[in-house]
Amino acid sequence: MRSLILAAALAVAPVGAALAADPIEVVSEAPSGGAEVKIAKMKFQTPEVKVKAGETVTWTNTEALPHNVHFKPGAGLEKDLEGPMLRANQTFTVKFNTAGTYNYICTPHPFMTGKVVVE
Amino acid sequence: MTHAHTPARPMLRMSAALLGSAAFAALLAAGPAAAAETHGQAGAKAAAAHLAAGKEDDPVVLEAPAINPRRVYVNDPAHFASLTQQYVIDGDTARVVGMTDSGFLPNPVVASDGSFFGQVSTTFERISRGKRTDYIEIFDPKTYKPTADIELPNAPRFLVGTYPWMTALTPNNKTLLFYQFSPSPAVGVVDLASKKFSRTISVPDCYHVFPVTDQTFFMHCRDGSLLKVAMGADGKDETAKTEVFRKENEYLINHPAYSPKNGRLVWPTYTGKIFQADLSSGEAKFLPAIEAFTDEEKKAGWAPGGWQQVAYHRGSDRIFLLGDQRAQWKHKAPSRFVFVIDAKTGKRVKKIEFGRDIDSVGVSQDAKPQLYALSTGEKTLFIYDPETGKETAAVNQLGHGPQVITTADM
Ligand SMILES: [Cu+2]
């Protein structure tokens, strides 16, 4: 199950070396030092996180109800980046390469919203 | 689909093709067939007389009879099929007087003066895949010809089992509002007068659309409040929430009844508690909640259930609520009874036993209304006299899984 989800996560990012032009990219492992966002009670517990360009944010779903992280076009993002559904205790990590404000939702729960501010 | 057990409708279609226009017009004008004579028999008799008189057949495309408050629209979402249909029924004669085709999970609308009907619909270039197009289609209620076809940009429709109040017309019938769920809650505004999509109004986490004036509508929010949306002429829309009027564990059904003519919102819960709001002033006035069932009845398993579980008759200020004995969480199962409730006092006026499973109720808004009881399983619309509680007519073969009744409050 885990590997399936990982494969799905990789599928949304360009395969191979990350292109420098991509403002954000899905990464398979969370390096230390990145920001963390927990998902619980139908909410992104830290709805706004600030990171520096080049840093990562890792989301962890802490409840049985599946959630994901779904970035909408804007702030240099041309297309949707729709993360895979996370089951309990699964994680999803994104590296932010370019400064800007990136808004996101949970696909099946559009009332769950958050943003990442990259400085 | 088999026709063997129900000869009436196929006979009608045959007669429309075979009969001369004069004979068929005479048949239409004859009104309800006598109890002993079916429409098919009356049609056969008229055709025989036409033939005996030596008259020739003169096939024409018929028009529907003049609209009245007993024009009933029955929408068949067809259990999530890509192509669907709507049946237009004349309640007085219990006859299908027209049909329209539509795409995936359309939302029907009917003008409050009956002057048009339409739908917000979705099609794909290869039946159920390929490029998706969302659009609004408006029909003439006599000829059933489309008078407008307005495309909606970026496929914004919320694809959901048909909830009538996810799409609504403003009281002047000039603006159509439809709900968008994803990627964020919003209401699309379509100007029917200029036949153009106007704009999208971003709203908080709220659902359904209840227009009060040509510039104002209400929604129901996740937190248990209503949202008032005032549409600005320059696109500067303002939103404001009311007080929270229901508790988090009071689950409001997806099919409230709403009368735009007097601004009454009638909203039952899973247990039969009925919240009412009077929106007519442009502000929400919450009326005392009603309990449709006594504590004893609730203990015995009585609860509302079905699809369109509630109807409201404005003239008599009465509520019609589908109910039956059921297990908890069986709220979408049909009911065999309708409870008629005085909306002002909350008193039960009558309990009508259908003797069959009914999924949706509707009521015509004339002074002596007809009660419409739709069975999704039987694919049949049963027409009742709510005063006597007696079935007066039925129209069968309404598609695959008909669920939604729409009438105009003319
Ligand atoms: Cu979610």
- The confidence score (pLDDT) of residue B26 equals 44
pLDDT above 90: percentage of residues in chain B: 90
CA distance B338 to B357: 11
Q: Does A70 appear as a known binding residue?
A: no
pLDDT digit string, tens, across residues B14-29: 334 334 444 444 444 4
Rounded to whole angstroms, what are the CA distances from B401 to B9, B161, B261, B380?
18, 12, 30, 9
Provide the percentage of residues in chain A whose pLDDT is more than 70.
Answer: 82
* Contacts (Cβ under 8 Å, ≥6 apart) of B369: B313, B315, B316, B363, B386
User: Per CB distance under 8 Å, which residues of A are interface residues toward B?
Assistant: 70, 72, 80, 105, 107, 110-111, 113
Closest chain A residue to the Cα of B206, Cα to Cα: A111
Q: Do A110 and B181 touch (CB under 8 A)?
A: yes
CA distance, residue B328 to nearest chain A CA (Å): 22
Q: How many CB atoms lie within 10 A of CB A62?
A: 14
Per-residue confidence (pLDDT) for residue B35, from 0 to 100: 53
Q: How far apart are CA A21 and CA B20, in angstroms?
A: 72
Instruction: Check CB contact under 8 Å for B185 and A70.
Output: no
Task: Evaluate the CA torsion angle B247, B249, B252, B254 in order and state its sign.
Answer: positive
In whole angstroms, give the CA distance from residue B308 to residue B22. 40
- Around ion ligand 1, residues with a beta carbon closer than 5 Å are A 67, 106, 109, 112
C-alpha distance from residue B404 to each of B85, B164, B267 (Å):
11, 8, 17
Sign of CA dihedral B392, B395, B396, B401: negative
Chain A residues lying within 8 Å of B183, measured CB to CB: 70, 72, 80, 105, 107, 110
Give the pLDDT of residue B34.
Answer: 46
- Cα B210 to chain centroid distance, Å, stands at 14
pLDDT of residue A33: 83
Q: Which of A72, A107, A111 to mutate to test the interface with B (most CBs of B within 10 A)?
A: A111
Alpha helices (runs of H) in B53-99, residue ranges in sequence order: none
Banded pLDDT at A7 (limits 50, 70, 90): very low
Query: What are the phi and psi torsion angles at B346 (to 5°)?
Result: 80, 0
pLDDT digits (tens, 9 = 90+) for B267-316: 999 999 999 999 999 999 999 999 999 999 999 999 999 999 999 999 99
Average pLDDT of A13-23? Answer: 55
ipTM of this predicted complex? 0.77
Residue of B nearest to A108 (CA): B182
Residue B188 structure tokens: 């699309």
Beta bridge partners of A81: A71
C-alpha of B133 from chain center: 24
Catalytic residue among B104, B197, B293, B354: B104
- What's the A44 CA to ligand 1 centre distance in angstroms? 9
Looking at residue A13, its pLDDT comes to 45
Residue in chain A closest to B181 (alpha carbons) equals A110
**What's the CA gap between A100 and A83, in Å, rounded?**
19
* A41-67 residue pLDDT tens: 999 999 999 999 999 999 999 999 999
Q: How far is the CA of B89 from the centre of ligand 1 (A)?
A: 42
Please report which confidence band the pLDDT of residue B250 belongs to, taking 50, 70 and 90 as the band edges.
very high
| pLDDT tens-place string over residues B84-116 | 999 999 999 999 999 999 999 999 999 999 999
Centroid of ligand 1 to alpha carbon of A108 (angstroms): 6
Residue B235 has pLDDT above 80, yes or no: no
pLDDT, position A30: 78
How does DSSP assign B175-229, residue by residue?
A: EEEEEE-SSS-EEEEEETTTTEEEEEEE-SSEEEEEE-SSSEEEEEETTSEEEEE
Q: Say how many Å lie between the CA of residue A47 and the centre of ligand 1.
A: 13
> 3-state SS of chain B: helix, strand, coil percent to 5?
10, 45, 45
Measured at the CA of B364, the angle between CA B62 and CA B293, to 5 degrees, comes to 145
User: Across-strand partners of B366?
Assistant: none
Token representation of residue A28: 């398979």
Cα–Cα distance for residue pair A78/B121, rounded to 1 Å: 28
Residue A6: per-residue pLDDT: 45
Out of A72, A107, A111, name the one closest to residue B205 (CB): A111
Tell me which DSSP letter residue B62 carries.
-
Decide if A72 and B181 are in contact by the 8 Å CB cutoff.
no
User: How far is the centre of ligand 1, averaged over its atoms, from the C-alpha of B253 (Å)?
Assistant: 22
Chain B residues with CB under 8 Å of A70 CB are 183
A109 annotated to a ligand binding site: yes
DSSP secondary structure letter of residue A74: B
- CA-nearest of A25, A73, A85, A35 to B184 is A73
Distance, in Å, from the CA atom of B246 to the CA atom of B37, rounded to the nearest integer, reads 52
A2 pLDDT tier (thresholds 50, 70, 90): very low
Q: Give me the pLDDT at residue B27, please.
A: 46
The span from the CA of B256 to the CA of B384, in Å, is 21
Q: Average model confidence (pLDDT) for chain B?
A: 92
The pTM is what?
0.88
Contacts of B72 (CB under 8 A, 6+ apart): B88, B89, B90, B91, B362, B364, B372, B381, B405, B406, B407
> Can you tell me which residue has the tokens 């590997």?
A3
As given in the structure block, the two tokens for residue B69 are 């408050």
Contact predicate B133/B154, CB 8 Å: no
Place of tokens 């159920």: B128
* Cβ within 8 Å, pair A72-B182: no
Q: Residues B31-75: pLDDT tens digits? A: 444 456 888 999 999 999 999 999 999 999 999 999 999 999 999
- Chain A / chain B CB contacts < 8 angstroms: 16
Cis check: omega of the bond before B183, within 30 degrees of 0: yes
B104 belongs to the catalytic site: yes
Q: Give the three-state DSSP class for B46.
A: helix
Over residues B151-174, the mean pLDDT reads 97
pLDDT of B8 over the 50 cut: no
